[in-house]
């Protein structure tokens, strides 16, 4: 046994020595850093359509000068972290620096993930197997929340949803040293194990040696499922928090697992006959597999005619957006006689880039309900990145080249909202629950409010709204549908001559958006169609009270001035009351 241990220690010593020697051989000079800084800033200005849109040019240039002046006092790790943080401050998820030299390809053999109830080690290398499933409390003597914020600031994010996803820089030895949370002794962790015991452990980084990512210092590995860990060893070497299974177990499909964990392939679908549900997950939009995959899924829908079609883009990081129109052609040609009863689209913190372009088209043409977490960026965002490399410092720049405007120019929302929040807790993950899919297939009310109103009327929509306001009102990123979305439902009900249901829907819209004059005008029109003449006058008076200069007001005043229409009563809930 002692001989085996000696051999193992010798091997680890050789590995550490080799890594140390490699790092010592790669020591960019101060002149190298100054030269590459100028090149990075030049390429940024040349390639990006509007690099300073969020931060402002003067603010960014001041920070760039301050960083350049600090270079002589910084070591390599701090220079890497500082320059990455500078570019990340632009707030563009497609524009960032990453490390691109084997000297930087050293990763801590754990994989942390932020759940709704804290930060957990979702997978650990077999040498640290007891940490798998542990809750991270501190890193480098600091609260893990603070460290995660600093780590994500080196890669950049567009909103809080993307920030929660982009904590993977804390797995990098170079960045953790550069941010001051690790040293030559390693990365000190405080972890609460599954049995409740709190321990401290110093973790050593290891050189990337996964067959697919050998010596890779870039972020390429983070596009894989999180339970595969960092690019150290193989999937057989990693233990996950999901029932203690090895990461390699996910390389083989297993229908006993939740649909989103059934297999690790980027494209996966499953028909659940007892629930009359088709589940389809795509993790990226490729130029070869994406559209054929959905052609097969929709062909199955044509055959089995499910009650529910669930499209899972929670882990879809983007790809080739040019294929979105081909996808929509397959859906639109079925709209006159859809094979599904309800269609749900799941979004999350990883939904980004071309996946958002696809989302914009889906919501434009399909009657979908959005479930999950907010997307990683807004409908209007920069994209189509290209890259430049800087061998002297071993860095690589990803930089946006286009502006995608998929909403109105005044749409300042940082993400595409969801109709029903469904957020993973750590217990959900370990116990095989899916707060989105499980709720949909068991029949919980997960449809959007406009969808409920169209199908079941305004009273049913109001009941769902009141329930969601109680459950989700404290969530900063949740909110009710827009006035326009609700108005469309009200208009459809009127076209179908379902006048009482239209009145109830327009009344709900007025309660949700009482300061918008349109809602009261539309409510008045619905009340008129339903024969509620007195009530419609009260709604029209509200239009006058809210927007006295509106172009509709002269005609409304003439109506109100007619015999029998006099009065001052305003509709209940009108801001003018």
Parse the chain into domains and list their residue ranges: 105-250, 252-378+413-444, 463-561
- Comparing C-alpha atoms, which of 217, 219, 150 is closest to residue 179? 150
The pLDDT of residue 5 is above 50: no
pLDDT band with cut points at 50, 70 and 90 for residue 9: very low
Q: What is the pLDDT of residues 174-184, one digit of tens each?
A: 999 999 999 99
The pLDDT of residue 16 is above 70: no
pLDDT band with cut points at 50, 70 and 90 for residue 15: very low
- Comparing C-alpha atoms, which of 242, 326, 253 is closest to residue 288? 326
Instruction: Please state the rounded mean pLDDT for residues 299-306.
Output: 97
* pLDDT for res 323: 86
One CATH from 1.10.443.10, 1.25.40.10, 3.40.50.720, 2.40.10.10 for 463-561: 1.25.40.10
pLDDT band with cut points at 50, 70 and 90 for residue 10: very low
Instruction: Please state the rounded mean pLDDT for residues 513-526.
Output: 96
Instruction: Please state the rounded mean pLDDT for residues 246-250.
Output: 96
Q: Which helix (H) or strand (E) holds 311?
A: strand 308-312
- Comparing C-alpha atoms, which of 208, 187, 191 is closest to residue 200? 191
Provide the CATH topology of domain 105-250.
Pdz3 Domain (2.30.42)
Residue length, the chain?
577
* pLDDT for res 14: 42
Q: Name the pTM for this structure.
A: 0.92
The pLDDT of residue 349 is above 80: yes
Instruction: Please state the rounded mean pLDDT for residues 103-114.
Output: 98
Instruction: Please state the rounded mean pLDDT for residues 445-450.
Output: 97
Burial class (CB in 10 A: 0-12, 13-18, 19+), 437: buried
Instruction: Please state the rounded mean pLDDT for residues 570-577.
Output: 85
CA distance 544 to 552: 9
The pLDDT of residue 544 is above 60: yes
Cβ contacts of 322 within 8 Å, gap of 6 or more:
287
* pLDDT for res 22: 55
Q: Apex CA 351: angle with CA 387 and CA 99, to 5°?
A: 30
* pLDDT for res 219: 96
The pLDDT of residue 103 is above 80: yes
- Comparing C-alpha atoms, which of 475, 366, 379 is closest to residue 421? 475
Dump strand ranges (E) for 141-196. 142-143, 182-183, 186-192
Pairing state between β 142-143 and 135-139: antiparallel
CA distance 46 to 53: 15
Residue whose pair of structure tokens reads 């006959």 in the numeric block: 273
The pLDDT of residue 332 is above 50: yes
Give per-residue burial for 349-382: e unless 16+ CB within 10 Å, then b: bbbbbbbbbbbbbbbeebbbbbbbbbbbbbbbbb
Is the separation of the CB atoms in 110 and 121 below 8 Å?
yes
The pLDDT of residue 245 is above 60: yes
CA distance 37 to 403: 25
What average pLDDT does the structure give for the chain?
Answer: 93
The pLDDT of residue 337 is above 90: yes
The pLDDT of residue 577 is above 70: no
Alpha helices in 171-240 (DSSP H): 173-178
* pLDDT for res 481: 95
CA distance 419 to 491: 20
Q: What is the pLDDT of residues 475-514, one digit of tens each?
A: 999 999 999 999 999 999 999 999 999 999 999 999 999 9
The pLDDT of residue 372 is above 60: yes
* pLDDT for res 6: 42
CA distance 98 to 127: 27
One CATH from 3.40.50.720, 2.40.50.140, 3.90.226.10, 3.40.50.300 for 252-378+413-444: 3.90.226.10
* pLDDT for res 11: 41
Residue whose pair of structure tokens reads 């950049």 in the numeric block: 156
Q: What is the pLDDT of residues 178-210, one digit of tens each?
A: 999 999 999 999 999 999 999 999 999 999 999
Instruction: Please state the rounded mean pLDDT for residues 142-166.
Output: 97
């Amino acid at each position: 046994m002692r001989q085996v241990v000696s051999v193992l220690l010798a091997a680890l010593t050789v590995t550490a020595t080799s890594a140390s020697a490699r790092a010592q051989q790669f020591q960019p000079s101060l002149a190298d850093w100054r030269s590459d800084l100028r090149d990075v800033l030049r390429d940024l200005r040349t390639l990006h359509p509007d690099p300073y849109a969020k931060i402002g040019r003067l603010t960014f240039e001041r920070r760039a000068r301050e960083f350049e002046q600090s270079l002589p006092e910084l070591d390599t790790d701090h220079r890497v972290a500082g320059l990455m943080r500078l570019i990340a401050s632009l707030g563009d998820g497609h524009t960032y620096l990453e490390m691109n030299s084997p000297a930087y390809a050293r990763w801590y053999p754990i994989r942390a993930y932020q759940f709704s109830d804290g930060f957990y080690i979702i997978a650990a290398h077999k040498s640290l197997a007891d940490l798998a499933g542990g809750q991270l409390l501190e890193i480098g003597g600091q609260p893990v929340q603070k460290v995660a914020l600093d780590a994500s600031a080196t890669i950049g994010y567009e909103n809080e949803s993307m920030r929660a996803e982009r904590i993977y820089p804390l797995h990098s030895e170079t960045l953790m040293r550069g941010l001051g949370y690790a040293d030559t002794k390693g990365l000190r962790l405080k972890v609460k194990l599954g049995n409740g015991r709190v321990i401290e452990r110093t973790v050593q980084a290891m050189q990337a040696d996964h067959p697919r990512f050998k010596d890779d210092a870039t972020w390429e590995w983070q596009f894989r499922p999180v339970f595969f860990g960092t690019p150290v060893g193989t999937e057989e070497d990693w233990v996950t928090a999901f029932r203690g299974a090895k990461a390699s177990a996910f390389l083989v499909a297993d229908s006993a697992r939740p649909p989103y964990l059934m297999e690790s392939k980027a494209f996966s679908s499953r028909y659940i006959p007892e629930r009359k549900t088709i589940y389809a997950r795509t993790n990226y939009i490729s130029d070869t597999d994406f559209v054929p995959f959905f052609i097969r899924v929709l062909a199955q829908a044509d055959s089995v005619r499910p009650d529910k079609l669930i499209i899972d883009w929670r882990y879809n990081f983007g790809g080739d957006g040019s294929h979105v129109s081909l996808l929509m052609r397959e859906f639109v040609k079925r709209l006159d006689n859809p094979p599904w009863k309800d269609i749900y689209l799941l979004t999350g913190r990883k939904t980004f880039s071309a996946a958002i372009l696809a989302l914009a088209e889906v919501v434009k043409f399909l009657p979908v309900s959005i479930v999950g977490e907010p997307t990683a960026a807004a409908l209007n965002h920069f994209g189509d990145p290209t890259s430049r490399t800087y061998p002297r410092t071993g860095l690589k720049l990803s930089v946006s080249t286009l502006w995608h405007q998929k909403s109105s120019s005044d749409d300042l929302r940082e993400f595409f909202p969801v109709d029903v929040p469904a957020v993973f807790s750590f217990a959900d993950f370990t116990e095989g629950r899916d707060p989105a899919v499980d709720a949909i297939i068991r029949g919980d009310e997960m449809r959007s409010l406009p969808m409920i109103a169209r199908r079941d009327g305004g009273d049913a929509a109001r009941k769902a709204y009141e329930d969601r306001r109680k459950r989700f009102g404290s969530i900063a990123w949740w909110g009710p549908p827009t006035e326009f979305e609700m108005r469309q439902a009200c208009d459809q009900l009127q076209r179908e001559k379902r006048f009482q249901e239209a009145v109830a829907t327009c009344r709900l819209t007025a309660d949700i958006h009482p300061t918008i004059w349109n809602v009261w005008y539309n409510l008045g029109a619905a009340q008129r169609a339903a024969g509620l003449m007195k009530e419609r006058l009260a709604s029209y008076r509200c239009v006058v009270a809210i927007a006295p200069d509106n172009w509709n007001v002269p005609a409304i005043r003439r109506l109100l001035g007619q015999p029998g229409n006099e009065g001052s009563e305003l509709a209940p809930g009108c801001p003018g009351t």
